[in-house]
Amino acid sequence: MRTKQLLAEIDRGINALQKARALCLKGGEAVAAKTKATAAKTAKVTRVPAKKATSGGMSDEGRARIAAAQQKRWAKVKRAKKKAAKAAKTALVVPAAE
């Protein structure tokens, strides 16, 4: 959002809050109808169009290659953990030489 648009939105919000405060203090229903109409107008004016979704994406083959590579990486990590655990276990079991 540009700065001017942002400031205009903030001003609209402040106005709406001031009107809501006045409503709470006065308790008038005639003012409530005007506030709702004004709020509806500002809501319609301030809408920002959503970004379009990007077309394309990843092919099934590409997704499969990435999945296979990730599985390979995790298998390597798991093997290293098992090897370290096994080495630690055997280090504890070895009797001390006298």
Q: Quick check: is 52 in a domain?
A: no
Q: Has residue 28 got a pLDDT over 60? A: no
Number of domains in the chain: 2
Q: Quick check: is 65 in a domain?
A: yes
Q: Do 69 and 37 reside in the same domain of the chain?
A: no
Most confident region among 24-28, 29-33, 72-76 by mean pLDDT: 72-76
Report, as an integer, the average pLDDT of 50-68: 83
What is the residue-wise DSSP string for 56-83?
----HHHHHHHHHHHHHHHHHHHHHHHH
Q: Quick check: is 85 in a domain?
A: yes
Q: Quick check: is 98 in a domain?
A: no
Please write the tens of the pLDDT for every residue from 39-55. Answer: 666 555 555 566 666 66
Q: Do 41 and 69 reside in the same domain of the chain?
A: no
3-state helix, strand, coil in the chain (%, to 5): 75, 0, 25
Whole-number Å distance between alpha carbons of 98 and 85: 26
> 87 is in which domain, residue-wise?
60-92
Q: Residue 94 carries which DSSP code?
A: S
Q: Do 6 and 41 reside in the same domain of the chain?
A: yes
Q: Do 42 and 64 reside in the same domain of the chain?
A: no
For residue 6, the number of C-alpha atoms closer than 13 Å in the C-beta half-sphere is: 3
